[in-house]
């Protein structure tokens, strides 16, 4: 699902603090505005993804003007932040997915004889191939 929520960005002590009033407990920060936007988008996606997974109600988003009227000051900016829980799920879902693949019989025999952990080897190989450091 795609969502858009207003976020309050507050400059304080060299950081940008961010809160999302519509999502209880959602606060984060960044070292600059780009970092703060990245962090709050990630936090919103994680918050909503968790609520979706638990079957909890998703709070409706307030309008930009409603939040801006309540939080106006020189050190604060209210901006809408987009979040995509489908994309977040694709990038962060750690559930195992069954894949069918083919390898030569001789290689399968040697691997089984050596008690090779097929899934682990495939995961490691894919991470190396895709240059993923984890």
Residue 3 predicted with pLDDT over 90: yes
Residues 101 and 84 reside in one and the same domain: no
Domain that includes residue 24, residue range: 2-92
Nearest to 126 by CA among 93, 92, 99: 99
Residues 10 and 63 reside in one and the same domain: yes
Residues 79 and 106 reside in one and the same domain: no
CATH of the domain at 48: 3.30.160.250
Contact (CB, 8 A) for 16 and 9: yes
The three-point CA angle 60-84-19 to 5° equals 55
Nearest to 89 by CA among 53, 131, 35: 53
What tokens does 17 get?
Answer: 């603090």
How many distinct structural domains can be found in the chain?
2
The pLDDT tens digits of the residues spanning 70-116 come to: 887 888 999 999 999 999 998 888 888 888 999 999 999 999 999 99
Q: Please give the model's pTM, rounded to 2 decimal places.
A: 0.73
């Amino acid at each position: 699902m795609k969502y858009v929520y207003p976020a309050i960005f507050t400059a304080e002590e060299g950081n940008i603090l961010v809160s999302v009033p519509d999502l209880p407990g959602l606060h984060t920060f960044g070292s600059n505005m780009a970092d703060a936007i990245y962090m709050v988008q990630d936090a919103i996606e994680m918050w909503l993804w968790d609520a979706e997974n638990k079957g909890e109600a998703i709070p409706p988003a307030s309008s930009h003007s409603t939040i801006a009227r309540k939080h106006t000051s020189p050190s604060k900016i209210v901006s809408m932040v987009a979040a995509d829980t489908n994309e977040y799920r694709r990038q962060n879902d750690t559930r195992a997915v069954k894949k069918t693949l083919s390898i030569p019989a001789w290689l399968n025999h040697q691997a089984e004889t050596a008690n090779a952990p097929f899934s682990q080897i495939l995961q490691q190989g894919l991470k190396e191939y895709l240059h993923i450091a984890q």
